[in-house]
Amino acid sequence: MDITLTRLETEHCELLGSKIAAEIASQGGWIPFSRYMEMALYEPGMGYYSAGAHKLGAGGDFTTAPELSPLFGAAIASTILPILEGLRAKGLPAKILEFGAGTGKLAESILSRLNDIGFSLDTYDIIEISPDLAQRQQKRLDKLATELGLPTQCSWLSSLPSHFKGVILANEVIDAIPCDTIIYQNGFWYWYGVSTIDEKCNWKVGRHVEQTLLPESLLTGNFPEGYITELHPQANAWIRQIAEGLDTGIFLTFDYGFPESEYYHPQRIEGTLMAHHRHHAIPDPFYLPGLCDLTSHVEWAQIARSVLAENVDDVYLTNQAAFLLDAGIGDIALEIGDPGNPETFLPISNSLQKLLSEAEMGELFKAFTFSKKLDHLLPGYVLEDLPGFRGRNRL
């Protein structure tokens, strides 16, 4: 791929590449891929999410659902409104906490929709590891508060509060948590890590993978020689922390991925790992370190098992299209736009098509949620009573 870099971009890649090479040398010539991914994305001042690059939207490296349309956040507001009302009825503050809020577009859409329907949120907290994105979020949300004539409702936290009561959101967060790669050779699974050749990063096979770390599908499936896939211990540890920290309410996330049987399909021979740069998908994860986003698809079955180990009440998985339709996104579109006016309604229709179409985001992207003590807020309620979750649970 021919991508022209500025001098500063070239120097940035070279500097981070040298630091990664030094890390590999210090570890005896090999590091797990998760360590490479951690440095490429989060190395202070150098990683993709910590170096201040423009990342989201038409001029960035990828576009997310909240960037496509405020209807996405408006539909989520319909889902979480009963919980917020339940908190308020119990004399508790109505709180939302969002992990990795991007440009702040999702928060803006949700806050705008809640204001439109007459509900005033107490706090909208954000946990953001990118200083650049946190500044963009604050600028956007301060402007919104001024436009709505409301006091600023947003604050930025460094960690999840203990015993949190409310709604926790995360849009396209899990896919960017460092994963490990493994390879199938001679009837065994091996760690597939990173070494260097002439100071350039390359794949290198490591030790056997302990069988206790392998999901059932990888222990019993029939895989071709050289099959590559990912394991997600850090993502599963992160979701368990969320489940432990949530006292009452729900967690809701959107991301692309598959349940275990689809994720570890014998025909998915090169795994799901991908780099992204300027709206290009790049299969080489070592391309332009620090300038490319790195992601892997989410394996939802293990995510569900991880939260169930923390005694959550219910878990639920569906595709994004089914969630949005059940949450009433079509009615909201008709509420804010006039189908009889093609000039104004065509952009709304086009964004809906991208959010809902099976060929776009509708099927690959999933909505995953779990609840704790929901009936304490809404007596008699279960997760499947909330808008967005009244269809078929795919777990």
Residue 353 within a domain:
yes
Q: Cα(347)–Cα(79) distance, rounded to whole angstroms? A: 24
Among candidate residues 320, 322, 351, the one with its CA nearest the CA of residue 336:
351
Local confidence band at 98 (pLDDT 50, 70, 90 cut-offs)? very high
Q: What are phi and psi of 203, to 5 degrees?
A: -70, 145
Structural domain including 71 reads 65-177+233-262+275-385
Enter the pTM of the model. Answer: 0.94
Residue 237 within a domain:
yes
Q: Cα(11)–Cα(8) distance, rounded to whole angstroms? A: 5
Local confidence band at 180 (pLDDT 50, 70, 90 cut-offs)? very high
pLDDT digits (tens, 9 = 90+) for 306-347: 999 998 999 999 999 999 999 999 999 999 887 888 888 898
Residue 297 within a domain:
yes
Among candidate residues 369, 363, 361, the one with its CA nearest the CA of residue 385:
369
Residue 244 within a domain:
yes
Of all residues in the chain, the percent with pLDDT exceeding 90 is 85
Among candidate residues 76, 125, 381, 385, the one with its CA nearest the CA of residue 248:
381
DSSP alpha helix (H) spans, the chain: 7-26, 33-42, 65-68, 70-89, 105-116, 131-148, 216-220, 233-245, 260-263, 300-308, 320-326, 329-336, 342-356, 374-377
Local confidence band at 89 (pLDDT 50, 70, 90 cut-offs)? very high
Kindly list the distances between the CA atom of residue 392 and the CA atoms of 86, 96, 105, 160, 323, in Å, as whole numbers in the listed order.
Answer: 25, 26, 29, 31, 10
Question: What's the CATH number where 256 sits?
Answer: 3.40.50.12710
pLDDT of 150: 82
pLDDT of 62: 63
Among candidate residues 269, 268, 247, 244, the one with its CA nearest the CA of residue 258:
268
Radius of gyration, alpha carbons of the chain? 22
Give the pairing type, strands 95-99 and 188-197. Answer: unpaired
Q: Cα(35)–Cα(17) distance, rounded to whole angstroms? A: 13
pLDDT of 336: 84
Residue 299 within a domain:
yes
Residue 374 within a domain:
yes
Secondary structure (3-state) at 40:
helix
Residue 206 within a domain:
no
Local confidence band at 248 (pLDDT 50, 70, 90 cut-offs)? very high
Residue 29 within a domain:
no
Q: Cα(385)–Cα(395) distance, rounded to whole angstroms? A: 17
What is the count of structural domains for the chain? 1
